[in-house]
Every structure is written in structure tokens, then in C-alpha cells.
Amino acid sequence: MRRTATLTENQAAPRSHRFSLLHDKADDDVIDSALRAGVELRGATPWILIFAIVIASIGLNINSPAVIVGAMLISPLMGPIVGIGYGIGIYDFALIRRSGRCRRTQSGYRRRDFS
């Protein structure tokens, strides 16, 4: 007669808890407010953007791809991009418009009048 090892609920719980994504999850309100705050161009974000532009300019002048990539890593351009994606995900068109406006401002986009 062959015995099979079965786990009790107490033994199985630590294994399932180890791989649970819900254990360290923040509240939905905290996530929502953090994503909405990251969209705006205020506080330290404009200064970080200015320094990233200066670093990228230096990298272009000395022809160093590593410096240019470093400037891209410190630039705060991901906030509006994440805001656009989050707005699409929750169907918040005001957030999409605000994120798009901030993204255009950060990238230096200007509306051209060809008339």
C-alpha cells in the first residue's frame, strides 16, 4: 500500500502566501492619487526636466551615448505617459487630456498655424 503525502492547510498557506501579489498591494485610493499627482508639471519635476535637458545636451556635445541614456533615465517624462495609460484604463477622459497637455508641454510641442 502506497501512501501519498498530503499537505494540510497550515502547510500549504505559506507557499501560496509567498507568491501572492495582494500581500504588498497599496490601497486603490493611494495608487490613484499617486498616479494623478505624477502627471502634473509642478514641484521638483520642472527642475529635474531642466537638468535632464542640460545633461542630454552635454552628452550630445561630447558624443556620448551613455550620457544621453543617463539623461533619459532621470527625465520625468514617464508621469504623463503613465497618466495617459491609466486614464485609458479607467475611462477618465479628463485625466487623458490633462496628461496629454502636460506631455506636449514637456516635449516642447507647439501647435503650428499654417494659415
Asked if residue 109 has pLDDT above 80, the reply is no
Tell me the per-residue pLDDT of 19-43, one tens digit each, with 9 for 90 and over.
777 777 888 888 888 888 888 878 8
Say what the pLDDT of residue 77 is. 82
Do 99 and 76 touch, CB atoms closer than 8 A?
A: no
Say what the pLDDT of residue 46 is. 85
Which one is predicted more confidently, 20 or 55? 55
Tell me the per-residue pLDDT of 4-16, one tens digit each, with 9 for 90 and over.
555 555 555 556 6
Say what the pLDDT of residue 103 is. 85
Asked if residue 66 has pLDDT above 90, the reply is yes
Mean pLDDT of the chain: 81
